[in-house]
Structure 1
Amino acid sequence: MRYSSISRFKGTLFGAFLGESLASGGEIQFQSYLDLGRMAVLGTQSLIALGRLDLDDWIGRQQQESLHLVTTDDISIKIIIATLPVALFFHENPIKLRQNLLHVLKIWEDDPVVRDGTLAVGYAIALALTEKLDPLTLIPQIITFIGETPTSIPKNLLRVQNLLEQGAGLSSAEAEFAKEEKLSNIIPMAFYCFLSTLEDFRLAVLRATRNGNFKVQDATPLTSQATAAITGALSGAYNGTGGIPVTWQVLLLQRNSSAWGLTSFSQMLKLADVFGAVWSGVYDLSLNPRELTEEGCEVAPLSVYAAPRVIRSR
């Protein structure tokens, strides 16, 4: 593999966080008033705790954090970020991926645009993690994955492909989607920023943070941060943590400020490591000390590793 699975897992989550945190001037803001990823953290913690998708557990965690909210434009964007852990956890199997993405969306009100945006982002991340993402065929594959729909998401993604084939610049892409509704603008612009700078995480998210500052109708900080968060997730999944600038990573570790409701960025690192371990089937026997006894005597701790779908935690 070009990059390890855990590198892509981390790249997806860190990419989304960095995309949201970046100001239009290219500096990292450690205080975000939008907090797009708190629901994603809660979902990740649920998957870690249970090793499976359980809607009741997700709902309970959100209610405990007072995050069970009615769908609005702002919350719709948060929902797409919240589903990133599901895309990561079920990325190997397209059928299960689609089923579980649609299943988790039942937590919130049914919105066809949110559904299509979630499927588009989730499937692109899955293709990146399985190293099947071909920029020339990605958008047609996503449209097939979405299926029949009354929304404008497939049409807008085809417009993105046309812009890429024409070599159109960022300003042209912004003008193309200037009259679109907020969420219908964010999804195609995120794919444009990602695919137009496929191998450059830094440039992709910086271009995405500019979106919303010019020409786009009813531009808000949310538009810019949400576009950059989705772009960061896509680029992070494709390029892994190795594609994220070292200076940005060091800055986050040095400041070690809160991240998506966690007390520190270090805690976010650990969460991503544990999440990857649960997905891959690593047994953390230190969490189950009774399993380490043999006729009442403790034995040396062991760590068991396995390829995906070979051994899973029991």
Structure 2
Amino acid sequence: MRYSPLSRFKGTLLGALLGESLAAGGEIQFQSYLNLGRMAVLGTQSLIALGRLDLDDWIGRQQQESLHLAATDDISIEIIIATLPVALFFHENPIKLRQKLLDVLKIWEDDPVVRDGTLAIGYAIAQALTEKLDSLTLIPQIISFIGETPTSIPKNLLIVQSLLEQGAGLSRAEAEFAREEKLSKIIPMAFYCFLSTLEDFRLAVLRATHNGNSQVQDATPLSSQATGVITGALSGAYNGIGGIPVNWQVLHLQKNSPAWGLTSFSQMLKLIDAFVAVWSGVYDITLNLRELTEEGCEVDLLCVYAAARVIRSR
């Protein structure tokens, strides 16, 4: 295995966070315009607490936090980011992955573009985590995974494939999707930035947050950050946390600023560690010690070892 699951899980979620916080010009900004990943954190916490997808628990956590989104575009992007933990948790089984992604989308109003974008990003992340991602075949596989659809997402992804085969530059790609609706442009641009610089997280995210092309009339903070966060998630899943520039990580650790509704960047790292532990089936004996001592006898804490994939929660 090229990178550990922990490295790829961290790469995905921290890549998304850093992709959102990267300002135009390549500087980290600690106060995000939109805080796109708050619902993703709530979903991750639900999966950690229950060890499974429970839509009622997701809804309850969102209601408890009183999440309010100001605009339709904000909602669409945040919904897609909210599904990242589901893509990670169920990445091993494509059939279950597709079903769980569609299940979690039922929480919000059905939007075909959001659905197709979620399936495309979730499938790509799953391919990266299982080390099956091939840049030459990924887009046709994604289109097959999406299935029949009335949206322009498959068509735009095929345009991305054509641009990659031609070696087209960033300006050409931006001009190609300039007339598309925001979400139908953001998703293919994120895939273009990711696949055109497959092994370079830094360059992929810098290109995604680039707003310098004068032909792009709607280069808003939303479109820039949304493209950055999706590109960061995709590239982070593929390259792992080791592919994320150390100085970007250090800046966040030194500042230790709130991240996606959490109190600090350190808390985000601990959340991901707990998430990977639950996914892998790790049993926290300290949380269940009462069950072992309910008869009033002392029990020595034991370390249990097993071969990979032997002890699992699913």
Q: For this pair of structures, how many residues does the alignment match?
A: 314
Q: Hey, what's the Cα distance between the residues in 2 that align with 1:140 and 1:265?
A: 37
Match of 1:48 in 2: 48
Secondary structure in 2 matching 1:198:
coil
SS in 2 for 1:210: coil
Please report how far the alpha carbon of residue 251 of structure 1 lies from its aligned counterpart in structure 2 after TM superposition.
1.3
Name the Cα RMSD after superposition: 1.8
Structure 2 residue aligned with 1:9: 9
TM-score normalised according to structure 1 size: 0.96
Give the deviation of 1:285 after TM superposition: 1.2
Which ranges of 4 or more aligned residues in structure 1 deviate by more than 4 Å? 68-71, 303-309
Secondary structure of the residue aligned to 1:195 is helix
Matches within 5 A, 1:1-314: 1-67=1-67, 72-211=72-211, 214-293=214-293, 295-304=295-304, 310-313=310-313
Q: Counterparts of 2:276 and 2:251 in 1: how far apart (Å)?
A: 24
Q: What's the CA shift for 1:250?
A: 1.2
**How much has 1:295 moved relative to structure 2?**
4.5
Alignment check: 8 A CA contact 2:15 2:233 kept: yes
The residue type equivalent to 2:139 in the other structure is I
Query: How far off is 1:132 after superposition?
Result: 0.3
In structure 1, distance between residues paired with 2:208 and 2:195: 12
Q: Is the 8 A contact 1:283 1:305 kept in 2?
A: no
After TM superposition, give the deviation of residue 138 of structure 1 in Å.
Answer: 0.3
Aligned partners of 2:33 and 2:221 also within 8 Å: no
Pairwise CA distance, 1:290 = 1.2
1:32-72 Cα distance to aligned partner (Å, 9 max, x none): 12000000000000000000000000000001111265981
Letter in 1 for 2:97: L
> Partner letter of residue 207 of structure 2?
R
| Residues 157 and 188, structure 1, Cα contact 8 Å, conserved in 2 | yes
SS in structure 2 opposite 1:282? coil
Residue 209 of structure 2 aligns to a residue in which SS? helix
- How does the TM-score come out when normalised to structure 2? 0.96
Q: Which runs of 5+ in 2 are unaligned?
A: none
Which structure's relative contact order is higher, taking Cα pairs within 8 Å and 6+ residues apart? Answer: 2
Q: Could you tell which deviates more after superposition, 169-178 or 70-79?
A: 70-79
Distance 1:159 1:289, change over 3 A: same
Q: What runs of 5+ residues in structure 1 fail to find an aligned partner?
A: none
Determine if contact 1:292/1:301 at 8 Å carries over to the other structure. no
Is residue 282–residue 303 contact of structure 1 (8 Å, CA) maintained in 2?
no
Between the aligned residues of both structures, percent identity stands at 87
In structure 1, C-alpha distance between the alignment counterparts of 2:142 and 2:290, rounded to whole Å: 46
CA distance in 2, matches of 1:115, 1:171: 28
How far did residue 180 of structure 1 move?
0.6
